[in-house]
Amino acid sequence: ARRVMVAARALLFWALVYSYCGVCACIAGLRLLWSIGRRPGETFRWVVRENPPACLNDPSLGTHCYVRIKDSGLRFHYVAAGERGKPLMLLLHGFPEFWYSWRHQLREFKSEYRVVALDLRGYGETDAPPHKENYKLDCLIADIKDILESLGYNKCVLIGHDWGGMIAWLVAICYPEMVTKLIVVNFPHPSVFTEYILRHPSQLIKSGYYFFFQMPWFPEFMFTLNDFKVLKSLFTSQATGIGRKGCRLTAEDIEAYLYVFSQPGALTGPINHYRTIFSCLPLQHHEVIMPTLLLWGERDAFMEVEMAEITRIYVKNHFRLTILSEASHWLQQDQPDIVNKLIWTFLKEETKRKRE
Domain ranges of the chain: 49-192+236-348
How do residues 291-335 score in pLDDT, each as one tens digit? 999 999 999 999 999 999 999 999 999 999 999 998 999 999 999
Burial 77-116 (b: 16+ CB within 10 A, else e): bbbbbbeeeebbbbbbbbbbbbbbbbbbbbbbbbeebbbb
Query: What distances in angstroms separate CA 289 from CA 116, 169, 351, one per listed residue?
Result: 23, 11, 16
The answer to whether the beta carbons of residues 65 and 90 sit under 8 Å apart is no
Within 10 angstroms of residue 306's Cβ, the number of other Cβ atoms is 13
pLDDT, position 351: 66
pLDDT at 244 (0 to 100)? 81
pLDDT tens per residue, range 33-85: 888 888 887 888 888 899 999 999 999 999 999 999 998 999 999 999 999 99
pLDDT at 128 exceeding the cut of 80:
yes
Host H or E run for residue 271: helix 268-272
- Kindly report the CATH number that applies to the domain delimited by 49-192+236-348: 3.40.50.1820
Please name every residue paired with 320 in a beta bridge, in sequence order, or none if there are none: 293
What confidence score (pLDDT) does residue 203 get? 92
**Above pLDDT 90, what percent of the chain?**
74
**For residue 356, pLDDT beyond 90:** no
H or E segment to which residue 78 belongs: strand 75-81
324, containing H or E segment: strand 319-324
Predicted pLDDT of residue 281: 66
Average pLDDT of the residues in 82-106 = 98
For the stretch 187-240, pLDDT in tens is: 999 999 988 988 898 998 898 899 889 889 999 999 999 999 999 999 999 999
Q: In what order do the strands lie in the sheet with 179-185?
A: 63-68, 75-81, 114-118, 88-92, 156-161, 179-185, 292-297, 319-324
CA distances in angstroms from 164 to 39, 41, 92, 98, 295, listed in the order given? 36, 36, 5, 10, 14
Average pLDDT (150-179) is 97
Q: Tell me what pLDDT residue 352 has.
A: 67
Residue 275: pLDDT band by 50, 70, 90 thresholds?
very high
What's the average model confidence in pLDDT over 228-255?
94
Lowest mean pLDDT among 116-125, 243-252, 274-283: 274-283
> What does the pLDDT read at residue 167?
97
Q: Kindly indicate the confidence band of residue 99, based on its pLDDT and cuts at 50, 70 and 90.
A: very high
Please report, for the chain, how many H helices and E strands are present, in that order. Answer: 15, 8
Q: Which residues are marked as active site? A: 162, 274, 329
